[in-house]
Amino acid sequence: MEINETQKIREKIICLEKVSYNYQNDISALSEISLEIVKGERFAIIGANGTGKTTLLQIMNGLIFPSKGRVFFKGSEISKETLKDKGFLSFFRAKVGYVFQDSDVQLFCPTVLDELLYGPLQLEIGEAEALDRAFEVMEMLKIEPLKSRPTYMLSGGEKKKVAIGSILTINPEVLLLDEPTNGLDPKTQCSLVELMLALNEAGKTLVIATHDLSLVDELQATTAILSEDHQIERVGSAMNVLGDQDLLLRVNLIHEHIHRHGDVTHRHLHSHYLFHRHERE
Amino acid sequence: MEDLIPSFLLKQDSPDSFQLKGKRVRTPFLEKGMEHLGEIVKIAYAQWNAASKEGVFQKIDARIKLLFLLFFMTIISLKKDIESEIWIGLLVLLLMALSRLNLLHLYKRILLFGMVFGFLVALPSALNLFKEGEILLPFLSFSRSYQLWIYSLPETVGVTREGVYGLGMITLRVVNSLSLTFLLLYTTPFPEIIRALKLLRVPDTFLMVITLSYQYLFLFSKTVEEMHLAKRSRLLKEPKSKEARMWLAGRMAFLFRKTRLRADEVFRAMVSRGFSDTIKVYQVKTLQPHDWIAGFSFLCIGSLLLWK
């Protein structure tokens, strides 16, 4: 369904206006980024390593603040100043959840159950309801048997599930996911994609930072591609962005690859996804 | 999967608008401390940036700079008059200016550390409780003096001339030692310092420990910064000091565990790459005429200060 321009403006949920960010006041991480994310959208930020994907997500979550430019959530500016107001802080943090790339840094409660209860209890939801939420999420993620386990005794995939669960129990409207499939086995990756699609179906806005092109394809997300100059190279549909070989080559997301089949050596474009096709195919 | 989505996730239970409460969120002291730990990378970057500038001290060989540091540190400890300490302080200031360092930024830190580790630590010695002297500023008077075991409480307690002089000396010694160290660190890249230490025959084990600790500092700082951001992203209300302390204690245990695992991994990686307990240096530069001139000048100035 085509969304007309008026509707899009009304439903804008996250908006970035010419955002730049420098590390150590010197090294550029983002340059003049302008983006609009619409409510209920699946939005992917893709780019090679070091292009600023994580920085961009952290700016959207009000964890770091732009050196230049402005960020808005539902029309309210996210800044150091606005997040100092108790009312806005609670509102914003309850609405936007962030799943870190490294689950280890995110999990800090003694057990898995404590981890899932942390958010709801902070929201001052009653204990019974908080417990209900935690158990429902555990059931959905199939991590109920782990409920009494300390988080450091979990595998990588289990930690990722707990990290996602700990955000879901807050019931945020927007989920920011940093490299969600990184380090997960194919089966866990698959169930994670299903979960993301189901959450989006349930009305959640998903914003994903990744360099996994197959994930973008599976989610069919609106895609913003970051260049190595830390600028937005293009924003478009997954099909539009992933179908443009020249663009993906330019931003170093695919490369020319040489390999052997028996005695035959040949070369082709390689992305570990779309273009791993041989000419005769 | 869709069938399993909990019902609470299908409805939006938090309000769609907010009210500015006007009440400000205060950041507990511990949280601020965590933020500052993350700035280690920033400091290292500033050092690296300053060390790559085209300044006088940057051009001198690291071996000469290290010997200069050791020689002048010795002079600072041997001299017993404030005048010499002031001259040394001015010399370092001049060298910093010639090396195009940010004097304001550096001296803010030097004076802060100098105040804490020099002035405040030695402050009680300005009183006549430890050493008798000519009282300049009396504080307390008693009808008579008291003797408590090995301690004595004089009839009049106050700041003495000798105490003030000693306090000034200690503070200046700390400030000068810090300035010299900062001058070296901000004009010499870290690998150059290690290479110079190796050439000056410092044991390899010691250098290994310094190098690995320095590298780990960045990993540690990055992990702490990420943990802090992760906590902040899940913080829905003002953090309480008690909660911050509990969180910090848990995270310290986590870091300890992670550090031990990391140390094992690093050691295995070193072994797999053929680690032996010797550090190999390559492309050793010979000292250039300007290095010899600088070294000779420092030797002359230092000797002059010692002789005076």
Residue B76 has pLDDT above 50, yes or no: yes
- Close Cβ partners of A86 (under 8 Å, ≥ 6 residues apart): B21, B23, B24, B25, B237, B238
Closest by alpha carbon to A196, among A174, A229, A213? A174
pLDDT: which is higher, B86 or A86: B86
Instruction: Report the distance separating Cα A107 and Cα A95, nearest Å.
Output: 19
> Which stretches of B161-242 are assigned E, i.e. beta strand?
none
Instruction: Report the distance separating Cα B59 and Cα B179, nearest Å.
Output: 19
> Which stretches of A50-170 are assigned E, i.e. beta strand?
68-73, 76-77, 96-99
pLDDT tens digits, B20-48: 767 777 776 777 777 777 777 777 777 88
What are the residue ranges spanned by the domains of chain A?
A: 5-108+173-242, 254-281
β-pair partners for B158: B138
Cβ of A63 and B258 within 8 Å? Answer: no
Coil, strand, or helix at residue A210?
A: strand
> What's the pTM?
0.77
β-pair partners for B156: B141
Chain B residues within 8 A of A87 when measuring between CB atoms: 18-23
Beta carbon pairs, A and B, within 8 Å = 139
Please state the rounded mean pLDDT for residues A197-203. 90
Nearest residue, CB atoms, A61 vs list B12, B13, B233? B233
- Close Cβ partners of B164 (under 8 Å, ≥ 6 residues apart): B126, B136
Q: Which of residues 212-271 of B touch A (CB under 8 A)?
A: 223, 226-227, 229-238, 247, 250-251, 254, 257-258
The per-residue pLDDT for B44 is 78
Side-chain-side CA neighbours of B48 within 13 Å: the count stands at 10
Helix (H) or strand (E) holding B77: helix B62-78
β-pair partners for A30: A21
Cβ of A88 and B4 within 8 Å? Answer: no
The per-residue pLDDT for B94 is 95
Coil, strand, or helix at residue B35?
A: helix
The per-residue pLDDT for B295 is 94
pLDDT: which is higher, B53 or A24: B53
Q: Which CATH class is domain A5-108+173-242?
A: alpha beta
Lookup: tokens for A144: 């109920």
Q: Is residue A71 a contact partner of residue A78, using CB atoms and an 8 Å limit?
A: yes
CB proximity A187 to B under 8 Å: no
The per-residue pLDDT for A266 is 72
Q: Is residue A84 a contact partner of residue B232, using CB atoms and an 8 Å limit?
A: no
Cβ of A86 and B5 within 8 Å? Answer: no
Q: Is residue A120 a contact partner of residue B236, using CB atoms and an 8 Å limit?
A: no
pLDDT tens digits, A93-148: 889 999 999 888 888 888 899 999 988 888 888 889 999 999 999 998 889 999 99
pLDDT tens digits, A13-68: 999 999 999 987 778 899 999 999 999 999 999 999 889 999 999 999 999 999 99
Please state the rounded mean pLDDT for residues B87-96. 94
pLDDT: which is higher, B275 or A110: A110
pLDDT tens digits, B180-213: 999 999 999 888 898 899 888 888 888 888 888 8
The per-residue pLDDT for A153 is 86
pLDDT tens digits, A212-240: 888 999 999 999 999 999 999 999 999 99
β-pair partners for A70: A17
Average pLDDT, chain B: 85
Place of tokens 């020319």: A256
What's the full length of chain A, in residues? 281
What's the full length of chain B, in residues? 308
